Structure 1
């Protein structure tokens, strides 16, 4: 029988009444191996988003060379989302069946090859094919990262760990406009894609040598292993997909994530074209790069800060799932500031509004991912997350087409898009409040 999780702050290692500094020191004292595993998935996520964000930054160059229309660009992103949707479900099941180490290695190898193949494309159709394959393989990233966090971290650290690895999305999106102009000036756009593929190969070496499950790791301390596994459910065999789809928590996460995740893809794909159109920035580091770096740096603070907030509430005695919902309500309110972006009187006011919105989105994401980890049994974690990711990718497919259509009929007016974004979070939060289980279900 599976028991509900207890907070690691209730263990003998760390007192629930200790200050936040004492809790951090106490958690580190039991061992640091889990943070090394977290670093591996952080860098994988960074690479994932470098590969993904590069297209948006290079869009003005590629559109000029290949005569892309706004709808061509939307369709290229649409086919990425198609691959992403299919890949999420397949990759989640594959990870649960063969283990995160082997499955993630194969996925990163294939997405690095797909990234390099972009350099051979000569038309919009060629990019659609490459983006489909990239989406199919990159879909493994988050199920693998979530599985790693669920395996290596107890409930009280889970949101912080999630926020940290998810900060890799913003680091990747931030590094891309900072480094890409230099690479483009030296090697051109084909060389840029090949360089990104090479980074994936470097990561594969570290992953194959360093990653292990907690019970198999050659250097993990016994105290850290006990800390990680305190209150954990006993090992279970993989569950059939039909059983997972009958679980209320699967649908609680899947629909809420499908409503809100496409917003981040909107930012990733359309922020560079929006800023370039509104303020004629070009693709240089000083013009386009600095605003994007500020936006994604703020998102990093949101990602980690969102995890800290719910962990702090857990430390004050609030139940884990309740702490996630409270945190998400706060961040949903903060996201409302993006409505000011479309009609901002200047570049930096628009950057401020978007930065706050993106940061709050990442804080929300850290908590919805931690929420699903709190009530999902470990042996079906990647499948549940993969199914939710598939639903989110389908939502992203519709979002991409809607954005392309709205910008076409309104002659590139972003007002409607920025106005509807905040409402999406309150709809998702209402769904979660009524549908999310309050503990790990008891399974026979």
Structure 2
């Protein structure tokens, strides 16, 4: 949750700061681009680090770094300066999903992972719900100014670091886990941690399925995070104090989609469907939810636009809940962090391309229509590509795994 709060404070403030400090569309697009560049590179590194030191310590170190970068925003007023503050924020936040996925793999058997991922996706979206309400409350209602928004939310993150270190443990190290619960968690055979031959993972088609999926869908979500406040500001002339209701509605729908996408595949698995059929059926249903966003700029009212965008956000979260389960489904546990890392890099590269595209479109065309058309098509295309690369969603053969391991 706090990851999204810290990430979204600047986008929520963007319309006001852009007007106050004369930011250009291309300058803001570059800010998004460099954030994703560092995020993607750090994602790879963080995945491998978490494979080695575990989610508990790795996540705490990363969050300390991102909290520093978040508070550093108060020192700048230009997009160039803000880029320098976003770099440590991006580097630290890159550990969010590798650590969370590693924790899910530690705590849940395969049949429950997509639902667990959907729940933590929904939890992260709580940050997206809170930020459009919290930032105007601090800046407008309390009259504390935009810098206070960074300071107060940064303090919340610092408190969380302490709580994480106190409470998180692996199942076998947790005093409240019973033997029957441990047996359920560890029902699948486990292997000891092993080093990964970096170049070898790219010879496996399952790696490419995950990378290409992330390359196609992550840019859409990044666009929502960075530009939705600006869209509502320009399309419906909303001020900072008016962003709350539409953005909260959008991310509430996203929360529902996150849980629904995970629930569908988990339900189908429980009925005896194969992992391949269950995951891809759920992904297809959620991909269809994104299609109507192509008409969001033509909406007759703000709330119609909210419904179309919220449905697309729900589709993204439900789709991603199943895509993010791929590393845990198809690779041994000791490889999950590395696979997630290269997938994050691929998604960030796609996000950089999308950020540049969005900046050019907004500076020249001045409309979000082309951006939303791309978003509408991304998920069906991603599912098609994933299916062509991995027709059967099944674990990588042991012989191939042995070649990957050093």
Task: Tell me if both proteins adopt one fold, taking TM over 0.5 as the criterion.
Answer: yes
Residue of structure 2 in register with 1:312 after alignment: 267
1:218 positional shift: 2.5
Task: From 175, 180, 185, give the equivalent of 1:228.
Answer: 185
Check the 8 A contact 2:191/2:334 in 1, yes or no.
no
Check the 8 A contact 2:46/2:341 in 1, yes or no.
yes
Residue of structure 2 in register with 1:213 after alignment: 170
How far apart are the structure 1 equivalents of 2:75 and 2:269?
50
Name structure 2 gaps, 5 residues minimum: none
Check the 8 A contact 1:155/1:320 in 2, yes or no.
no
How far apart are the structure 1 equivalents of 2:190 and 2:206?
17
Residue of structure 2 in register with 1:56 after alignment: 11
Residue of structure 1 in register with 2:373 after alignment: 419
Question: Which deviates the most, 216-225 or 112-121?
Answer: 216-225
Residue of structure 1 in register with 2:333 after alignment: 378
Number of aligned residues: 396
Q: Does 1:198 align with 2:159?
A: no
How far apart are the structure 2 equivalents of 1:146 and 1:191?
32
**Deviation by residue 1:327-346 (Cα, 9 ceiling, x = unmatched):** 11111112111112011111
1:438 positional shift: 2.9
SS of the equivalent of 1:318 reads: coil
**Deviation by residue 1:85-138 (Cα, 9 ceiling, x = unmatched):** 111111111111222111111000110111011111132211011112211111
Check the 8 A contact 1:119/1:190 in 2, yes or no.
yes
Check the 8 A contact 2:44/2:344 in 1, yes or no.
yes
With normalisation by structure 1, the TM-score equals 0.87
**1:255-294 to 2 correspondence within 5 Å?**
255-284=212-241, 287-294=242-249
Question: Which deviates the most, 424-433 or 291-300?
Answer: 424-433
1:298 positional shift: 0.6
**1:2-401 to 2 correspondence within 5 Å?**
46-185=1-140, 186=142, 187-284=144-241, 287-401=242-356
How far apart are the structure 1 equivalents of 2:382 and 2:265?
18
**Deviation by residue 1:242-288 (Cα, 9 ceiling, x = unmatched):** 2322222111100111111110111111111111101101111xx21
How far apart are the structure 2 equivalents of 1:64 and 1:163?
37
How far apart are the structure 2 equivalents of 1:315 and 1:440?
19
SS of the equivalent of 2:272 reads: coil
Question: Which deviates the most, 211-220 or 151-160?
Answer: 211-220
How far apart are the structure 2 equivalents of 1:369 and 1:344?
32
How far apart are the structure 1 equivalents of 2:371 and 2:96?
28
How far apart are the structure 2 equivalents of 1:369 and 1:221?
28
SS of the equivalent of 1:220 reads: coil
SS of the equivalent of 2:20 reads: helix
Check the 8 A contact 1:321/1:371 in 2, yes or no.
no
Pairwise CA RMSD: 1.2
Name structure 1 gaps, 5 residues minimum: 1-45
**Deviation by residue 1:143-198 (Cα, 9 ceiling, x = unmatched):** 00011111110111111100010112321111001111111133211111011111
Q: Which runs of 4+ in 1 moved over 6 A?
A: none
Question: Which deviates the most, 399-408 or 209-218?
Answer: 209-218
Residue of structure 2 in register with 1:39 after alignment: none
**Deviation by residue 1:349-380 (Cα, 9 ceiling, x = unmatched):** 11111111111111101111113321111001
